[in-house]
Amino acid sequence: MGRTRGQGFGDFPRHGPVNRSLCLVLLVSVAAACAGAKPAEPALTEVDHGRAGDVEVALYAPTNALKPTRNYCTLEFRTAADRHLVDVGTVKVHTTMTMEGAPMDGFVTEPKRLETGRYAVEMVMAMKGDWHLSIEWMGPAGTGSVAFASTVQ
């Protein structure tokens, strides 16, 4: 028994150039829509803030407190005088939980500069409790540091 063209599993019926053009237009439209769509960024809430000299530092997170999990945070550095974002250069963040014996460090990624005065940082705190966060910078706005006491809930 022989098969004729169009009867096999891998053979598809042929459609005219109109159907191919329609598929191409649909494919281009879907690709354009996907390329222009950005995922919505979560609204951020100020978790803590501090000041060193003329630099104000604010820590923002998606919730009103840090969690015992991954915390995707934003740091903002502003001048105290007129509150505009300021370039602080290199930023370092360190987290520690005071415990009997040796303190426990949290995991912190290297802060990534998003724009002048704004940095993204990921902090992982292993458990609930009182944590100490220290933020240091060195750059055009000078050298400084602030420390926060934060309760991870």
pTM: 0.70
C-beta of residue 57 within 8 angstroms of C-beta of residue 146: yes
Number of domains within the chain: 1
User: Distance between CA atoms of 149 and 32, rounded to whole angstroms?
Assistant: 46
**Per-state percent for the chain, helix, strand, coil, to nearest 5:** 15, 45, 40
Lowest mean pLDDT among 75-89, 96-110, 132-146: 96-110
Q: 130: domain range?
A: 45-152
| pLDDT 10s digits, 20-58 | 665 555 555 555 555 555 455 668 899 999 999 999 999
Q: Name the residue with higher pLDDT: 2 or 117.
A: 117
Decide if 56 is inside a domain: yes
The answer to whether position 8 is within a domain reads: no
Q: Is the pLDDT of residue 15 over 60?
A: no
Give percent above pLDDT 70 in the chain: 73
User: Is residue 39 domain-resident?
Assistant: no
How far is the C-alpha of 75 from the C-alpha of 72, rounded, in Å? 10
Average pLDDT over residues 113-133: 93
Residue 103 belongs to a domain: yes
The tokens 């802060």 sit on which residue? Answer: 111
Question: What's 91's domain CATH number?
Answer: 2.60.40.10
Instruction: Note the pLDDT of residue 126.
Output: 86
Q: Is the pLDDT of residue 99 over 50?
A: yes
Q: Is residue 40 part of a domain?
A: no
In a domain? residue 6: no
147 part of a folded domain: yes
Q: Is residue 83 in some structural domain? A: yes
